[in-house]
Amino acid sequence: MRDEREAPTAVFLDRDGTINRGAPPGDYIKGWSEFEFLPRAPEAIARLNAAGMRVVVVTNQRGIALGRMSADDVEDIHRRMTDELRAAGAELAAVYYCPHEVGECGCRKPDVGMFEKARRDVPRIDFGRSVVIGDSSADMEAADRIGARRILIATDEAPAATEVDERVSSLWEAAAMLDQPLRR
């Protein structure tokens, strides 16, 4: 069993629905003009950083495979998101995205290819001492596969039956909870 009093080595975040408002069902965030941070998300990431946690974004971006946006569009969103976060005092250790259609790769969550790449690229990531925060069953299943703590952002669209370690209402609430043991 994981010791939840010990600080995580990494916090893996989904993007849409976790950091920013997700698109309506069946649609995608296709450009920066459609990107909107969720309330207190930048502050939450800064809080995780201040507690010594590496924050890594892992996001499925199937809209590329469907031709709804290009890899350049997604990379522009990530560049601007990273700049805005940095301006708010928050730092991302890395951002990974899967551009593939369902069943075409080993990186699309719930597969763990993006997590494995992060472990190779970002120093001192220990999956057993990491956390995955997201709003979907794919996020939670990926967390389970790598042996990380599972925190689901419970929304109207979030699957109620998904097995998780914690349910929270926002990234801010998750960050406050993860930071709490460090302040005792």
Active-site positions? 14, 16
Measure CA of the first residue to CA of the last residue in the chain; give whole Å. 21
**What SS3 string covers the chain?**
CCCCCCCCCEEEECCECCCECCCCCCCCCCCHHHCCECCCHHHHHHHHHHCCCEEEEEEECCCCCCCCCCHHHHHHHHHHHHHHHHHCCCCCCEEEEECCCCCCCCCCCCCCHHHHHHHHHCCCCCHHHEEEEECCHHHHHHHHHHCCEEEEECCCCCCCCCCCCEEECCHHHHHHHHHHHHHC
